[in-house]
Each structure stands twice: as C-alpha cells, then as structure tokens.
Amino acid sequence: MTTVMDGDWIMLLRNFYGDNSRVTEQELAGGEIYKYKYSFDSKHQIVKTIVYFPDGQVRQFNFRDGIPVK
C-alpha cells in the first residue's frame, strides 16, 4: 500500500519503500515525515528499527524472533 486517501481523494498517508520492501518513510496529510531504518540478523529478520520523528525525536525498537524486546 503506498497511499491512503479519504472520500474526497485527499491524501492522508503516503508510504515510501526501500529495496527490501519495507517502509522507509511515511508522509502524513499535514506534511509530517517519519523515517525508518532497519537492522537485520543473518536470517534477514528485523532486530532493530530506528524511527525518526518529524520533531527531531529518535526512538529505537529492538526485536528478537519478530517480538519487541526492551
């Protein structure tokens, strides 16, 4: 899915994908942009996702066997 639009064809969300078919950037209706960076293990499973928020905040999410860990 690349774009979500409302009944008046106004863009609510636009997804951009990288080479690995994962979302790398999301643009919201108000122009806010979220960026995503992924790290993979030897089995090509995501072990870490870094999210860059429009306000400059950065959050890291870690995973083990596809399950979020703290």
> Domain spans of the chain?
3-69
pLDDT tens string 2-38:
999 999 999 999 999 998 899 999 999 999 999 999 9
Burial class (CB in 10 A: 0-12, 13-18, 19+), 63: middle
Starting at the earlier edge strand, list the strands of the sheet with 58-64: 3-5, 11-17, 23-28, 33-40, 46-52, 58-64, 67-69
Res. 52 pLDDT band, cuts 50 70 90: very high
Full-model pTM: 0.86
Angle at 14 between CA 67 and CA 43, to 5 degrees: 30
